[in-house]
Amino acid sequence: MAGNARPLRRAGRGGLHRGPPGMGSRMGLETAQRTGNQSFLDSFTLVRPRVLVIGCGGAGGNSVHRLHRIGIHGARTVVVNTDAVHLDSIQADRKILIGGGVTRGMGAGGRPDVGERCAELAEQELRNQIGDSDLTFITVGLGGGTGTGIAPFLAELAQAAGSVVIALATTPFRAERGRMNNARAGIQRLQSCSDSLIVLDNNRLLDLVPNLPIEQAFAVMDHLISEVVKGITESITLPSLINLDFSDVRTILQAGGMSTVFYGENSEDDVDRVVSDTLDNPLLDVDYRGANGALIHISAGPGLRLKTANAVVEGLTAGIRPDANVIFGVRVDRKYEGILRVLAIMTGVRSPIVEGVAESVSLRDVVSDGGTPGIANAETLRPSRRR
């Protein structure tokens, strides 16, 4: 292999295997035998991992709303908010209004400490929703009061329940200085209570889609978040040409730390362009060269060759650590005829937006003041007008 590319370990091609120690009791896996065309899945009602997607606050709820509408196989969707108007405007399997006695259903007023207090008052209900999920995605737009306050609280509950926790957080625009302070505190909290924290910077929209109307621009970010959650979930719950086994996903993401997403799409005949398009479109200003892991999912038409898929993965991982843990999966669908769509999660990356958090900050110490226009009413606005 050229350069510093490494031999690749692909995920399993279907089949059942025992996961990490202790997972058998949760997943219901035992030794079994079948003859002829009998399906092993018929006897394992709990064989598929239980996946939960929780949207926190306005932006997190918007992402789950989009995910629920496009459909996701193998996951349950929940939205938690302090804003009754927003909850009425979205769709999810379960919607939970918290802190009614504190906020009267009108939002947290841009104060993360209020959002966290509302979550504490609803702790038992939130624990019940998390249940015994094996993998929990938490989507949140950091900077406001509700999402920033409740996302770390939910992450702590999910980890305590034994779930692998993947937080997907968007950050405010640079001009939103007060919200950025809230977001930095939220990032620090989420880092400490999530297995992987995937940060997506809204400022990247200014480079990717600068001329789109604001609602459509934010819809782009919602779409990308949906693709990440849907891509990972369905790669471990649906049959694929090359499956991503839950135990493999767990291994990479459970020690992922700070992570980000790369997304690209191009003709399957031009591997170099697919790789460059993907690496040129990170959703966070990062140095990925020190990444300690990569989880790559490729969607393509039936004509995809293994050589092509391998070349894409080698190109994407050529610049990361030689000892990085790399797995990839491939799903074939006729709607991708002639094209390659790549979703890559790089774990253990470095970013200025995170390293800018110079000292420990408590969410209860980060509250909005009268000198920051608009923040006090941020959480009561409709999702199309405010993230």
Tens of pLDDT along 374-385? Answer: 222 333 223 333
8 A C-beta contact, residue 171 and residue 202? yes
Give me the helix-helix angle, 271-279 and 306-317, nearest 10°.
40
**Which pLDDT value is given to residue 242?**
78
Sign of CA dihedral 330, 336, 340, 346: negative
Residues 272 and 375 in one domain: no
| Contact assessment for residue 274 and residue 343, using Cβ atoms and an 8 Å cutoff | no
Q: What is the pLDDT of residues 176-218, one digit of tens each?
A: 878 988 999 999 999 999 999 998 888 888 777 888 888 888 8
Considering the domain architecture, whether residues 336 and 362 belong to the same structural domain is answered as no
Q: For the segment 8-38, what is each residue's pLDDT rounded down to a tens digit? A: 444 443 333 333 434 444 444 455 555 566 6
Q: Mark whether 95 and 224 lie in a shared domain.
A: yes
The pLDDT value given to residue 40: 55
pTM of the model: 0.79
Full residue range of the structural domain in which residue 318 is found: 259-347
221 and 368 housed in the same domain: yes
CATH number of the domain encompassing residue 307: 3.30.1330.20
pLDDT (0 to 100) of residue 386: 38
Instruction: Indicate whether 38 belongs to any domain.
Output: no
Is residue 27 included in any domain, yes or no?
Answer: no
Same domain, 356 and 341: no
pLDDT at position 243 is 73
For 225, counting Cβ atoms within 10 Å of its Cβ (0-12 exposed, 13-18 middle, 19+ buried), the class is buried
Q: What is the pLDDT of residue 108?
A: 96
Based on the domain organization, do 204 and 57 belong to the same domain?
yes
Q: Is residue 92, in this structure, part of any structural domain at all?
A: yes
For residues 116 and 221, state if they share a domain.
Answer: yes
Q: Model confidence at 86, in pLDDT bands (50, 70, 90)?
A: very high
Question: What pLDDT is attached to residue 362?
Answer: 37
Confidence band for 42, pLDDT divided at 50, 70 and 90: low
Number of domains in the chain: 2
User: Residue 159 and residue 323: Cα distance in Å, rounded?
Assistant: 27
| Cα→Cα distances 162→32, 190, 241, 360, Å | 26, 16, 30, 26
> Stretch 331-356: mean pLDDT, rounded?
84
At 353, is the pLDDT very low, low, confident or very high (cuts 50, 70, 90)?
low
- 190 shares a domain with 121: yes
320 by DSSP, 3-state: which?
Answer: coil
Residues 184 and 201 reside in one and the same domain: yes
Query: What sign for the dihedral angle of Cα 225, 245, 337, 265?
Result: positive
The DSSP bridge partners found for residue 329 are: 297
What pLDDT, in 10s, does the model give residues 98-132?
999 999 999 999 999 999 999 999 999 999 999 99
Chain-wide mean pLDDT for the chain?
A: 81
Average pLDDT over residues 75-91: 97
The domain that holds 171 is classified in CATH as 3.40.50.1440
Does pLDDT of 343 surpass 60? Answer: yes
